[in-house]
Structure 1
Amino acid sequence: MRLSPTRLAVLIGVAGALLLVAVIVSPMLLISMPSFLNNGGTAVDCDDTAQVEEASDSAASDIPRDYLELYQEYGERIGVQWNILAAVGKRETDHGRSTLPGVRSGTNHAGAAGPMQFLISTWGGKARIPMSSTFNGYASDGDGDGVGDVYNPADAILGAAKMLKRNGAPENVRRALFVYNRAWWYVDQVEEIARTYALSGEVDVPPQASEECDEPLVEAAPSDVVAEILEYALAQRGKPYLWGGTGPDAFDCSGVIYAAYRAAGLSIPRTTFGQWPFGVKVLEGQEQPGDLVFFNSGPGTSPDNPGHVGLVVSKGKMLEARCRLCGPIKVTSYESRTNRVGFTRPLQNPDVLEQLKRLQNSTL
């Protein structure tokens, strides 16, 4: 794609002015379309979120009403299949009805507790944790009482939804379930239960945005430069994750972004740790295509030192290379991620502004 000198000049002028007034970002009205029409006139599903599956008669008769409401509420809020969440609850404790040790108090022989059978170590180190305290685990406060109680169904189900999401759901359900209880026979059993709970008899896995969705995303880019970045990045979808990879056959999270900017003639830092302080911070809700979205990814990372990054391609959507076991590079949602740290705009970095000027001069 040839850079338009006029549009590039406008981009540089606007970005420079924004930088001088310390990140006064002009909001953009981006219309998010759930699907587009391909050339044949067939609707193409460009969404990546789990479908809200209706409950079957089997689910309604087997799952206590309060549990069913919690599974559906937190499944939709966190972005995982509610029937998978419910099937875990069924397989673990029959939705809290089991009288075995560890369900209502104490732990079982493996150290697991509560209706969703969390290992106390993965919950946060103890069964009941004030949510104002610092801890490393999945302890959650579903009922708003300020305490993450592993025996409380609302807290435990919310925590389980977060754990499934963190480990691959809704796209890679089997991997997420394997991490939950490391046995493939367990994964098979949970999936079978989940099918009986869904009205369709299936476990819905969200489709990945297809190539038919690329053109509208690129055309909606705020500049020719961003369009080039998106065009390259989206073309990498389906390639595998490789730690340290910068292409052309495989990438890691920051590598695919580094390569996409390079394809547009721009140089930015190679790693997530370098990319985070490089771009100008953007307020949530004012992010736009071409910006970067960062996440706290666990041990060794923090809100001030995020360990994962994605490329914003449209409002609420990003392209990411997540991890080796998380499947190929794809377009996913960032809005449902609870570990989101913030957004940056590399195009407002002074070094990038100079690079843009040189690119403009080279096209004159």
Structure 2
Amino acid sequence: MPTKLAVTAAAVLLFIPVLFGTGVKAVVEALFGSSPNTTVDCTTPIADIPPEYCLHYLSAAPNCPGLDWTVLAAIGKVETDHGRTTLPGVHEGENHAGAAGPMQFLAPTFDTVIARHQIPPGGAHPTSRYNPHDAIHAAAFLLCDNGVRRRDLRAAIWAYNHADWYVDMVLDQAAHYAEAAAATGDCNAIQAPNTAALTAINYACGQRGLPYVWGGDGPTEGGFDCSGLTTAAYAAAGIMLPRTAQTQFDAGPRVPAGKPLLPGDLVFYGPPGDIHHVGLYIGGGKMINAPTFGQPVQIDNHRYPDDDYAGATRPAASIAVGSQY
């Protein structure tokens, strides 16, 4: 097992269209590694993934070219909460269907996989479906055999558990992990899901320190107001937004409530019909915004006590597919 909990993983998810309603097909396409390699540090918490499991997912994904580590992590989450559940068949015995271990393998399936593929050193002796290292590596090989090698990720996940709801749940969870891994909330280490979002964030970060000016559209007017900043940021990326916070909120496309935000999303505040503030989400729970009189363009938490958060939109959605970091 490597001594450092940091692994270069192929393809932190480039774009996650399922989050605003275009369906899981586009997520499947996005999870085939169109983005460059990204270093994922497992010592930094990534959502709810235990560091040792994070390392196993990252290490096992290269067993199957084209498989994103987040898919393995999502299966581990859906199956056993990364080995944390105390249900029968996770740490010993089998469940009612005969499945066992953190990735819930049937014994014949696991035996077939390890007979066909060599599990790398670092697990149990003999190889065991109860051992996280062995089970996660075996899952990567099985997904490859069942569809990933043919670029059919949905078929591969469906073969793992024959239910469409299961496939959708895994893909949605993988999208959540990809966003969590990409989000830094740091203008000095910008990561974004597409070129447009990256350009908008980079522009906004460059305006930090400029004064708040009511109706301000940029440095030539002495500063920005909140929607002036987001308008200018996305104009730099070639996307023209309506000018006010309310009209930007109305323009969408809306990020469904409860779905994870992506860097580049716009976050809004105020009651319906009276949106009074907008910021540009940069990941890690942070936004860059022009807050109010007497406060310059700055990074703030996007949620705070007693806020009137209204929701988010994703302006870069329409041009994001095929983008690169």
- TM-score, scaled to structure 2: 0.42
